[in-house]
Amino acid sequence: DFASGDMVCGDCGLVLGDRIIDTRSEWRTFADSEGDDPSRVGTVANPLLDGDQLDTMIGRGANDGGLSRGLNRIQGLTKEHQSDHALVLSYREITALCEAFELPKSIVDIAKQLYKKVADDNLQRGRNNNAVMAVCIFLACRQGEAPRTFKEVCAVTKVGIREISRTLKVLKGKLSADSGLTSSKDLIERFCSNLKLDNEVWRVSRMLNETAADLDNITGKNPMSIASACIFMASQLVGNARSTKVISEVSGIGESTIKATYKILYASRKELLTAEFMKHNPNVSESNLDAL
């Protein structure tokens, strides 16, 4: 019986020992007011923060004449607390930016880990912290196989593309992270989703993109313009056309660029719309294509 500190026989009730020490967790509340969920244990250690994290955090009491508020302010001035506070603020900003991209938690965690490496090596000194966070998110998207373009990262983080490029060149080698290259294949699925196109248009766009990669006159084109042109062509073939203006608003590529790339695809339509291609896509009709 831990409540009385006795060891009692369960069969006859004989007291076999007294003053037994309770080795179980001591679930009590030491707060000013008793709550419904008493707890004596703290949170798990956060690998993204420095130190052993065993220090006591002083809260701000309401009815102590401002004593706890003053102690809390003094604790906030300590060097270790300031370091963790800066990291926590950066992690919150990274989380908010990733939520704007609708990225999964796994990529958010990768971005935070990359930022922690930057902070540990003091690589952010003398650099725009917003640019550092943007680069960490950019690299995390690549590593998490959900790549975002420079333009998309710039639009959300409000950091110039030159600043991000310059910071990326410095941090990429230090972090041993491969930024890779954005392919039009990676962009098509997201663009089709944002345009609310069905799976058939997405499938046809992917097939056009795979075949177009072998065209000599398309080599060297911006992957975003290739993806946009393939979607424009596929939507016409299927009979669910989207205008270049609508596609431009989603992809961020100018209408004139999309039209110029599409004209190359249209001129090579015989190589793209092979008998095998038409066999796998019975709902496709070449007569739907616009020559522009």
Residue 95: the pLDDT is 93
pTM beyond cutoff 0.75: no
pLDDT digits (tens, 9 = 90+) for 87-119: 888 999 999 999 988 889 999 999 999 999 988
What is the pLDDT at residue 227? 92
Question: What distance in Å separates the CA atoms of residue 63 and residue 135, rounded to the nearest whole number?
Answer: 45
How high is the pLDDT of residue 44?
Answer: 59
Q: Which two tokens stand for residue 99?
A: 């939520």
* Residue 178 pLDDT: 62
| CA atoms of 202 and 125, how far apart (whole Å) | 44
What is the pLDDT at residue 37? 56
Mean confidence (pLDDT) of the chain: 82
What local confidence, expressed as pLDDT, does residue 133 receive? 93
Given this model, what pLDDT does residue 208 score? 93
Reported in sequence order, the residue ranges of the chain that DSSP labels E, i.e. its strands, are: 7-8, 15-17
The whole-angstrom separation of Cα 212 and Cα 215 is 5
pLDDT of residue 69: 75
- Tell me the three state secondary structure of residue 7: strand
Q: Which two tokens stand for residue 199?
A: 């799976």
Structure tokens at 228: 């946009």
Low-confidence ranges of the chain (pLDDT < 70): 1-3, 22-46, 50-65, 75-83, 176-182
Short-list 250, 260, 249, 200, CA closest to 226: 260
What's the confidence (pLDDT) of residue 109?
92
